[in-house]
Amino acid sequence: MMYFLGFDVGGSSVKFAVLDESGQFYDRGSFRTPETLEDFYTQLAIAKNKLSEHYMLAGIGFSLPGAVNETTGIIGGSSALPYIHDFPILQVLEEQLGLPAAMENDANCAALGEVWTGAGKDYQDVAFFVLGTGVGGALVHNKEIIHGAHLHGGEFGYLYVSERKNILSESGCSGALVRQLASDRQIPPGDLDGQKIYAMAEAGDKDAQCYIEDMYEYLARAIYDIQYIFDPEAFLLGGAISARADLIPNIEKHLDNILRDAKVARIRPHILACQHGNDANLLGAVSHLMTRQKK
C-alpha cells in the first residue's frame, strides 16, 4: 500500500490528509495559515513528521492559490499569501520536507479531485466551475488539466457579460449577488450572503429575484459557449451554491431558451453537481502528484 500526503493551502487555514492510491482517506488535520514563510515551512514539517511516524509516505501534493507553474516551481500572480509567490517554492518544499512534491492551482486541484473519484470519474473531458465569491474554473482533457499559454486555461470568471459591462465573476455567482444587492440597498456586503438573498427572493423581493435569474442566465450562456469551444462530456459545478437542488434545473431552463434561439445547435450540455466539497482539493493534489510520479 502506498500513502501520499496532501496539503490544501488556503488564506485562513491549511488542511492536510493522508490518502492511498485509490483516494481513500486515512488521517487528516489542519492548522491556521501562518503569517510568515518560515512558519509556513515549520508547520508543514510538523504535520509531515507526525504523519510519517505512522505512514510510509511516497510524496506530497500541494493545492495552492495563484498561477502555479510546476515546470519552473514558481507561483506567479497574487493571492492572500504573498510569501509563496515569485521564487522556486517547489524545490524548497522538497528540500524542507525531504520528499518528492508536486503542486497545482487550487481550482485545478478541485477539478482533478472530482474527475478522479467524484462526479467526473466517468469522464475524460470536463469543464469545471467553482461558484463562490467569484467564478473559478478548470478545463480537463484526458483527465489532465489544460493550463494554457498564460496559465489561464479555464478561468471562466473572465468571460464578458455585455449587459453588466463586467465579467462573469461579477454577475454569475453568489458573491456577485451579495455585491449587487448590497450596492443597491447601500448596506455592508458583510450583512448579506447567498442564503439570505435566496430567502429574500422566496419572500418576494423583486431585486433579489432578478439578480438570481440573471445569474442563471449568464451561467447558461457561459456553459453553452464553452460546450461549442471545448466540447466537454460534462460540466461540473462546485462551490457552496452547487448544493442547491434548484441551481442546475434553472440553468438548464435558460440553456433550453438558448438552444431554441440558436436553432442549429444540437448538443445539450450535461451538467452535474460536484460531490467532494472541501475534500476535492486534497484529492486533486494527490491525484496530480501520482500522475507526475508516473511520467
Per-residue pLDDT reduced to its tens digit, 96-122 = 999 999 999 999 999 999 999 999 999
Q: How large is the average pLDDT for residues 40-53? A: 97
d(CA 281, CA 285): 6
Q: Give the rounded percent of residues in the chain with a pLDDT score beyond 70.
A: 100
Average pLDDT over residues 131-151: 94
Q: Residue 92 — pLDDT band, cuts 50, 70, 90?
A: very high
Q: Give the mean pLDDT of the chain.
A: 95
Q: Residue 228 pairs with which residues in a beta bridge?
A: none
Q: Which residues contact 120 (CB under 8 A, 6 or more apart)?
A: 111, 114, 126, 128, 140, 234, 236, 272
Q: Kindly report the CA angle at 138 between 136 and 140, in degrees rounded to 5?
A: 165
Q: What is the mean pLDDT of residues 22-26?
A: 97
Taking residues 202-224, what's their average pLDDT? Answer: 96
Stretch 253-282: mean pLDDT, rounded? Answer: 96
Domains of the chain: 3-112+278-294 (3.30.420.40), 121-274 (3.30.420.40)
pLDDT tops 90 at residue 230? yes
Question: Does the reported pTM lie above 0.85?
Answer: yes
Residue 16 has pLDDT above 80, yes or no: yes
**Residue 69: what residue type?**
N
Q: Could you give the CA distance from residue 123 to residue 143 in angstroms, rounded to a whole number? A: 8
% the chain with pLDDT above 90: 95
